[in-house]
């Protein structure tokens, strides 16, 4: 009985423990590298979103009172616009993270998806057409409503944050 039941259970448990330890070790090594790469990617995206800003003139803003989806807010020292980084969970297992640029007049300059885990093809089609659809007031892109609604919510929250920040000035 021990040989038939207990031994396989102990063997599989030991294998699972070893593999969990190996995955934890790999994660502890790669997590800082991934975070650094994501931070490095945001700089050029900020400049692409707000091309009017001169150099690295982005100033972080307080998030107090802003929608909970807003993770970071920046303005420029030359008052050429605002940048918002926001995230929300949509259809995929991890949140969509979006960066959005807004002029001082309240016009959407552009937005870009920093990270997502949406279904490739149908779900990601939202990211190539959502800015134009948002500007035209289209409610959804057929077949990817959850993703589009999440993306639209992030853009709307960016405008709410913009209004709040403009009201503070």
Mean pLDDT of 75-85: 82
Residue 24: the pLDDT is 93
- Say if CB 155 and CB 129 are below 8 A apart: no
Q: Which helix (H) or strand (E) holds 47?
A: helix 7-49
Query: Is 53 part of a structural domain of the chain?
Result: yes
State how far the alpha carbon of 99 is from the alpha carbons of 9, 22, 79, 141, in Å: 48, 34, 18, 20
Mean pLDDT of 96-113: 85
Give dist(CA 140, CA 146) in Å, integer: 9
Query: Is 112 part of a structural domain of the chain?
Result: yes
Mean pLDDT of 146-165: 87
Give dist(CA 96, CA 149) in Å, integer: 11
Residue pLDDT, tens place only, 106-151: 888 888 887 766 666 555 555 555 555 554 444 445 545 777 788 8
- Residue ranges making up the domain that contains 160: 47-168
Structural domains counted in the chain: 1
Query: Is 42 part of a structural domain of the chain?
Result: no
Query: Is 38 part of a structural domain of the chain?
Result: no
Query: Is 10 part of a structural domain of the chain?
Result: no
Query: Is 57 part of a structural domain of the chain?
Result: yes
Residue pLDDT, tens place only, 27-52: 899 888 877 877 777 777 777 776 76
At CA 25, angle to CA 24 and CA 29, rounded to 5? 115
Give pTM, 2 decimals.
Answer: 0.65
Query: Is 157 part of a structural domain of the chain?
Result: yes
Residue 124: the pLDDT is 56
Query: Is 105 part of a structural domain of the chain?
Result: yes
Residue 17: the pLDDT is 95
């Amino acid at each position: 009985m021990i040989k038939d039941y207990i031994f396989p259970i102990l063997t599989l448990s030991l294998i699972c423990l070893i593999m969990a330890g190996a995955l934890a070790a790999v994660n502890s090594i790669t997590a800082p590298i991934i975070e650094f790469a994501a931070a490095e990617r945001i700089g050029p995206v900020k400049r692409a979103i707000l091309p009017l800003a001169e150099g690295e003139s982005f100033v972080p803003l307080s998030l107090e009172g802003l929608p909970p989806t807003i993770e970071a807010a920046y303005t420029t020292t030359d008052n050429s616009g605002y940048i918002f980084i926001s995230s929300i969970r949509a259809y995929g297992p991890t949140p969509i993270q979006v960066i959005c640029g807004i002029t001082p007049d309240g016009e959407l300059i552009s937005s870009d998806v920093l990270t997502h885990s949406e279904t490739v093809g149908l779900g990601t089609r939202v990211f190539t057409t959502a800015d134009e659809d948002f500007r035209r007031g289209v409610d959804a892109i057929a077949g990817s409503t959850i993703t589009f609604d999440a993306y639209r919510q992030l853009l709307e929250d960016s405008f709410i944050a913009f209004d709040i920040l403009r009201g503070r000035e």
